[in-house]
Amino acid sequence: MESDTASATDSSCGALLDEKRHLQRPERPRLRRRGRGRGGPGHGQHFCPPWARTFCTAAGVALVLVLLIVSSLGAYIMWTTDILGDTVNDMLILRNGSTAFDSWQNPPVHPLMRIRIFNYTNLQAYMDGEDEKLLVQEVGPYVFREISKKTDIKFGDNDTTITYRLNNTYVFVPEESNGTLNDTVIVANMPLMTAFARMQDAGLLARLALRSGMRALQAQPFHSLTAHQLFWGYKDKLINTIQTVMGPFNPAMRNLKVGLLQTKQGISEDVWTVYSGVGDHGLSKLGYYAAYNGEPQMNYYWGECNEIRGSDGSRFPPELVRPGGTLWVYLRETCRRTLLVYNTTVKVMNGIPGLRFVPEAPKRLAKGEQDCFCSEKDGCLPYALMDSSYCRNGAPLVVSGPHFLKADEDIRAVVHGLNPVPEKHESYLVIHERMGVPIAGKSRFQFNVKVHATGGYRYMNALEGKVIPIIWLERDIVEFPHDLQKILYFTAVTLDSLKAGLQHGLPVVATMCALSLVLFAAVRCRKNRRLLSAAKRSGDKILLKVTAPPTREMTRL
């Protein structure tokens, strides 16, 4: 009996101790087996098995934390810097072997050059005195594709500048032309006009000898040529005489070229130097001229007008291409710079945005006023006319807008048949804002001749000192290849959209990650408080059971 009572007492105490251990052990959520439970297959299932659940939780928290850091840092960079734009700008630098350098050396786009000739149609009636003024008829256009490459390339110190010569080729495009190169036109005799211009300061006897020689050679101020002869040159008695007489004294006269395109065809003798975008100037002068034939400025004019300032028109510093901005272009045809001013923003080539720039209106000088482009000897030309005889070996060439656009009425009144229309005759360039390259536009200017000292040709007396037109020229930027259009569209539209998306999207991602971490921390804290509360309540129950009054069996014991 006593043995049975002791055994029961031991069993009761052991049960109490087992119950205490069970209550002190924290409760763990029970996993449902796959395919069981109210939710059907997979309901309440964890992604990680029980033994890897802690690792998965830690990895998830770490991933969210990393994403928070990366998105926060990315948002800061996108809002405080222009990393995408800087990357594009770095690609524009003219480094040897780079894509930008290759496209600069061998441009993938070849513009069309349209030449319109002013044909003098009433020359005989004017000579006979029947007509008081000459009548011109615009003929053409005769279209050529201009293929321009750069050769003899040399990099300067620290690759900050590039020196080169131009190699131009002109290919006639008959399907785009209105006429053939066999068309006959009557134009001003440029060799004769140049001879008279160069002799205007000579003595009386020299001028009389010149006029006598011209009559002996039967040279006339106007002559008939084919379009091919006008463009590619010709030979006559006057040219042969000039080469024979002037050649020994002037090497440039030994191989005299009189064709308008002949003087541009092939490798140029002029050496140009441009900034590459490397060095102290950076992109602020990318593509701008630095020197001509090794000299930092010209010697044609006086003062600041001799400065070689501006681009050749093929590319501009990106930081200067902005709404309201101004750009400089140095035109080799006029041997002087021109200022371009912002006009408006347009879209070309299937939606590529660009900034439209137009030439600044020429300054109208007050009576007696001069600027540094004026000749110290002859003074200033009339409004909207530019003297380019300085860089044309004394040839009396004057550059203007087509049909004397923006010039005074008395300039156009010298001849009949001119009708300037801004939409047809004004120059403009549409420039890609981020790349700084022209993506559309037309460069338009007119070559004229100023008549000098033609006394002895009685019907030319009325034209003494006047400016008469020869041709006007238009360069038209053709549509870019499709692959190049994609690049231009990406840098102009897609890149800005991507930048805006990152600027606004990264802060959203960072905010969501931060909220996720806060929510996770809140859930963990709430769970820990619940477990601690449950453990506390369980401990109180055990204590109550252990300190309860002894039972009858224990009393007996």
Tell me the domain boundaries of the chain: 1-17+48-94+502-557, 109-480
φ, ψ dihedrals at 134, nearest 5°: -75, 150
The mean pLDDT of 381-405, rounded to a whole number, is 85
Before 141, cis peptide (omega within 30)? yes
What is the rounded distance in angstroms from the CA atom of residue 249 to the CA atom of residue 243? 10
User: Can you give the pLDDT at residue 293?
Assistant: 87
Q: What average pLDDT does the structure give for the chain?
A: 78
* Token pair belonging to 437: 């390259």
Long-range contacts of 161-165 (CB under 8 A, 24+ apart): 161/273, 161/274, 161/275, 161/276, 161/290, 161/291, 162/94, 162/273, 162/274, 162/276, 163/271, 163/272, 163/273, 163/291, 164/271, 164/272, 164/273, 164/274, 165/267, 165/268, 165/269, 165/270, 165/271, 165/272
The mean pLDDT of 424-442, rounded to a whole number, is 88
Per mean pLDDT, which of 93-107, 235-249, 404-418 is the most reliable?
404-418
The model's pTM is 0.76
Tell me the pLDDT tens digit for each residue of 207-249. Answer: 677 677 777 777 788 889 999 999 998 877 777 777 676 666 5
Long-range contacts of 326-331 (CB under 8 A, 24+ apart): 326/360, 327/357, 327/431, 328/288, 330/289, 331/445
User: Can you give the pLDDT at residue 344?
Assistant: 92
Q: How many CB atoms lie within 10 A of CB 232?
A: 18
For residue 417, give every residue at least 6 positions away whose Cβ sits within 8 Å of its Cβ, in sequence order, or none. Answer: 118, 135, 136, 137, 138
User: Can you give the pLDDT at residue 529?
Assistant: 76
273 DSSP assignment:
E
Tell me the pLDDT tens digit for each residue of 247-291. Answer: 665 666 666 667 888 878 888 888 999 888 887 777 888 888 888
Q: Which amino acid is at 415?
A: V
CB 466 within 8 A of CB 451: yes
DSSP state string for 49-70: -GGGHHHHHHHHHHHHHHHHHH
What is the rounded distance in angstroms from the CA atom of residue 239 to the CA atom of residue 254? 10
Per mean pLDDT, which of 435-449, 474-488, 539-553 is the most reliable?
435-449
Q: How many CB atoms lie within 10 A of CB 79?
A: 12
DSSP state string for 141-167: EEEEEEEEEEEEEEE-GGG-EEEEEEE
Per mean pLDDT, which of 20-24, 101-105, 205-209 is the most reliable?
101-105
